[in-house]
Amino acid sequence: MATSLSEAYRDTTLQLKHIIPLDFDSIHDLPESHVWTTKDNLLSEKGDILSIPVIDLNALNATELVRNACQKWGMFHLINHGIPLSLVEEAEEHARRLFGLPVERKLKALRSPSGATGYGVARISQFFSKSMWHEGFTIMGSAVEHAKELWPDEYEEFCDTMDNYQKKMKSLAYEILLLILKALEVDDQNQDQEMNICSPSFYQSEGALQLNSYPCCPNPNRAVGLAPHTDSLLLTILHQNNTNGLQIFQEGVGWVPVPPVSGALVVNMGDLMHIISNARFPTVYHRVVPNETKHRFSIAYFYGPPTDSIIAPLSKFQIPCFRPVTLKDYISLKSKHLEKALPLLRI
Ligand SMILES: O=C(O)CCC(=O)C(=O)O
Ligand SMILES: [Fe+2]
């Protein structure tokens, strides 16, 4: 039987300090464990004039806009995406409710040391000696097992909303994927040959949902919300509440802020897209900086193919610059080498 996404993430066993978040409610000063001395604060001086494009999914020239945005930024804001605002608000409200629970309750839904889902710090924490000003909750498929621990008598509403959110995100992600393939000039006839990307089995991906919380931070200049990283799968669709914090790194420019755009979702390319586009589209190196007065929440939907799919540059690229890899093996490489995983596949 095919490996599920949560099984693919299950092969590393973490120490508890790389799972349990800080009890933010009881903290008034930044603890030493969360002080980052090496944080590179090189914000782009052109931050005000550089901005990530906003693309209307229904625009007549959407393909061209997506091509330009993906090439230059690996990212864009998407409007007219068809996801009801009420559903996004409902999901955000559930995330708020979850992270607002007393710490003892949240710890009942703690991710297990070898597990992939539940409450805990970011998976990338194991690569850093300092901790992040962040707590997360990961869902792959149904959230019921952990939701029952959080709300023994009223978990259904949370699960229904998360199921619905994931379902809608999955269809949107597929629509975006087709648009990106068009932007890569993969025509309709040869789409099916292209690693079966458009086949129903490719569509059977589970995806993963990540709820993120970045509480108000007593000393944001010395703390890190989420350390710099790239997302592993094909693409990510992100909702951010109306609180700044997300930044992306542009070579030769520095860190560029990605402030929330009302009603828009952020779409960013992940490592697998970098591979299939033969490095034409960058995988986005991004981070989150904390805020002193506002609590940031975000919801990231990670979209990828089934874990046994083979990922390789599209066959239209005659000189592939990456070796083929199954998603399962790529997840394993990334969990050992983080940002060094992609270069390991370079030809
Ligand atoms: O909170 C954010 O804006 C970013 C979240 C993120 O990068 C992630 O969950 O991988
Ligand atoms: Fe990310």
Per residue in 56-99, pLDDT tens?
A: 999 999 999 999 999 999 999 999 999 999 999 999 999 999 99
Highest mean pLDDT among 60-64, 111-115, 218-222, 337-341: 60-64
Q: Which numbered ligand comes closest to the C-alpha of 283?
A: 2
**Contact assessment for residue 194 and residue 314, using Cβ atoms and an 8 Å cutoff:** yes
Residue with more model confidence, 234 or 196: 234
Q: Is the pLDDT of residue 46 over 70?
A: no
Question: Is 123 labeled as catalytic in the residue annotation?
Answer: no
* Closest approach atom of ligand 1 to CA 231: 10
Helical segments of the chain, H only:
5-8, 62-72, 85-99, 103-108, 144-150, 156-183, 188-191, 200-203, 271-276, 327-337, 341-345
For residue 122, the CA-to-ligand 2 centroid distance in Å is 10
The predicted structure's pLDDT at residue 57: 98
* Closest approach atom of ligand 1 to CA 212: 1
Q: Angle at the Cα of 141 (from 213 to 289), degrees rounded to 5?
A: 20
Calculate mean pLDDT across residues 104-116.
91
Calculate mean pLDDT across residues 220-245.
95
* Closest approach atom of ligand 1 to CA 214: 1
ipTM over 0.85: yes
pTM above 0.90, yes or no: yes
Q: Is the pLDDT of residue 286 over 90?
A: yes
Q: How far apart are CA 168 and CA 173, in angstroms?
A: 9
Who surrounds ion ligand 2 at CB < 5 A? Answer: 231
For residue 28, the CA-to-ligand 1 centroid distance in Å is 24
Q: How far apart are CA 51 and CA 241, in angstroms?
A: 18
For a substitution probing ligand 1, which of 124, 236, 248 has the most ligand atoms within 8 Å of its CB? Answer: 236
Q: Is the pLDDT of residue 192 over 50?
A: no
For residue 189, the CA-to-ligand 2 centroid distance in Å is 33
